[in-house]
Amino acid sequence: MPITIKSAREIEIMTEAGKILEIVHDELAKALRPGMSTLEIDQLGEEVIRSYGCQPSFLNYNGYPGSICVSVNEEVVHGIPSSKRILQEGDIIGLDAGVIHKWYHSDAARTHGIGEITKEAANLIRITEESFFEGIKFAKAGNHLFDISAAVGSYAEKHGYGVVRDLCGHGIGRNLHEDPEIPNYQTNRKGVKLRPGMTLAIEPMINIGTWEVEWLDDGWTVVTLDGSLSAHYENTVLITEGEPKLLTLTQGRGRD
């Protein structure tokens, strides 16, 4: 699939999709509490998405059974919501969600602490988010795609973390997953040259321990191989003539 350059109208629709998804994440963040099931999170997320006349990007995508990917502690991504999985004080939880608005997608992820969390867990969440922002310093027309990858990975590794290699970011638009794939670590290639109108889902997945992961028997849930905590942070990013535009983060950083 060729990398798509979005028209002004497509960018307008995706900007709307991003703002709606930002609201979804804000509502979920406010609702999180110990004793809540991951299924309750999923149901609330879907309710908010549909209240804006949108559809969840993830529901039934390649058979995924939920609207929100809810990943707890050592779960890296794609955790399946369950009435039996109850959040505990001290857990960390990754929420990955997407919105379909007028046939176009937005995609974003946040990791939150439940109640009081350890300093180690809080640092992981912070560095994961910071690695994203280190990466998008290079998300400018004329740079190469893997400049972003190298910046994300080197920042996380500098702080002693493992950068997941088996999963990556991606282009986004009329399809949830479009070209190009966007690794979160340095490669020996440059990648494509960035052009205005490209829309990218950039999403560091960072582990306290090794970068290695495995898939559970459910076929979806990815966990750290060593059982260490993992965090996930993602935004849908528009490449412009100047600074990148974060379609799923319009209110600035640090709101969590």
Cα–Cα dist 93/22, whole Å: 17
Cα–Cα dist 117/2, whole Å: 43
Closest CA to 71 of 235, 241, 245, 223: 223
How high is the pLDDT of residue 255? 39
Question: Using one digit for the tens of pLDDT, what is the confidence trace for 2-46?
Answer: 899 999 999 999 999 999 999 999 999 999 999 999 999 999 999
SS3 139: coil
pTM of the predicted protein model: 0.97
DSSP designation for 231: E
Closest CA to 64 of 46, 83, 81: 81
How high is the pLDDT of residue 2? 81
Across the strands, what pairs with 75? Answer: 223
How high is the pLDDT of residue 13? 98
Cα–Cα dist 31/48, whole Å: 12
With a cut of 50, which residues of the chain have pLDDT below it?
254-256
| Cβ-Cβ contacts under 8 Å for 160 (sequence gap 6 or more) | none
How high is the pLDDT of residue 24? 98
| Cβ-Cβ contacts under 8 Å for 50 (sequence gap 6 or more) | 56
Domains of the chain: 8-246 (3.90.230.10)
How high is the pLDDT of residue 256? 38
SS3 30: helix
Structure tokens at 132: 């994203």
How high is the pLDDT of residue 253? 59
Q: Are strands 169-171 and 199-202 parallel, antiparallel or unpaired?
A: antiparallel
Structure tokens at 5: 């350059």
**126 close to 92: Cβ distance less than 8 angstroms:** no
